[in-house]
Amino acid sequence: MEFKIIASDGKTSARRGRLELLHGAVDTPCFMPVGTQAAVKAMTPEELESLGAQIILSNTYHLNIRPGVDVIAEAGGLHRFMGWSKPILTDSGGYQVFSLCDLREIDREGVTFRDHLDGSLRRLSPEESIRIQRELGADIIMAFDDCPPYPSDYDYACQSLELTLQWARTCRQSHLDGDQTLFGIVQGSVFEDLRLRSVEELENIGFQGYAIGGLSLGESKSLMFEFAQYTASLLPEEKPRYLMGSGTPEEIVSQIAFGVDMFDCTVPTRYGRNGTVFTPDGKMVVRNAAFKRDHRPLVEGCGCYACRRFTRAYIRHLYNTKEILGARLGSLHNLYFYFNLMAEARAAISEERFGIFQRDFLERYRGEKEATAI
């Protein structure tokens, strides 16, 4: 991996960069759509590429269960298996240590899961996580970590961080230097001293990039912003910074100003499947009755296929009759909105006007949302 900062905004910490990876380049700040099961829901790889996707995210834990890493390896790796030629980032399975807390037992060497599908026992350790990600062939792979829930008391967060740091050392030792880029994950819940220690220890271990984990887990938005900004300020400037799981448009624009380079979230496709689309004026619940006879596009002037071809009334009809096309069009529009937002942010950084861009975007986006109470 090579990472180069191309431009910086003069009045914020926003920066524009370029990641050179085995399967291509990624311009940052970037948004990574989530393809947990080797597919971004309702989208084909060709559609994703046409919308502007540069890199997508898949999940180690789930792919190891179905179809199995051996099947994917036989196909020539994850890129060939899913028909995606651009870069891929794989999560380590660490998030499932948090999300499947009722189905797992943790010890110092790893985690034993009870399979959520058939109840069988499955073991995932730092070494195994790295091995699976190596077999998948992702461009960026993540260290195995323990993500403490929110709220956590200080002692629990401290013990969790100790485990994450131990696993980070093991992951670094297991990682074979080569085409895959390994990111370490900063934990420490909402305690500044733990976050600082996490960054210092991870830098000592030595990673090619750093992720900010343990946020967007139920804490207030103000607290999430506070610790995203604080953690980003601690990370080395010359390495890419990835904020995990935070992904509404207003969150992304605000956190770009903190110097974050990479984002992922299920929000655009999840909302798109359920009848909510993003617009410059906030969210719009297009399945609502108010749009039954609204024959305008979702967003006037939007260049996406859904807006160029169809009306709000028609797309509402698709949702309310449970036609699959509705979910596809909503997801397509939302991803187009996200990728276009990233492109506008990059241009604003290059022109040293990101602060103005951020202010104008948030004023319009939040104002309409409050006025319509959606």
Residues classed as catalytic: 91, 264
d(CA 280, CA 250): 10
Q: What is the DSSP letter of 288?
A: S
Distance of CA 305 to CAs 291, 299, 332, 334, Å? 19, 11, 8, 11
Q: What is the DSSP letter of 244?
A: T
The two tokens of residue 149 are 């829930």
Distance of CA 158 to CAs 107, 149, 189, 197, Å? 15, 12, 9, 10
Q: What is the DSSP letter of 218?
A: S
d(CA 261, CA 371): 31
Instruction: Write a three-state SS string for 171-198.
Output: HHHHCCCCCCEEEEEECCCCCHHHHHHH
> Residue 107's Cα: distance from chain center in Å?
27
- 186 closest CA partner among 288, 94, 86, 256: 94
Q: How wide is the angle at C-alpha 245 spanned by C-alphas 360 and 272, nearest 5°?
A: 70
**Which residues have C-beta within 8 Å of that of residue 111, sequence separation ≥ 6?**
97, 104, 105, 123, 124, 125
Q: Are 358 and 352 in contact (CB under 8 A)?
A: no
The two tokens of residue 44 are 């084909």
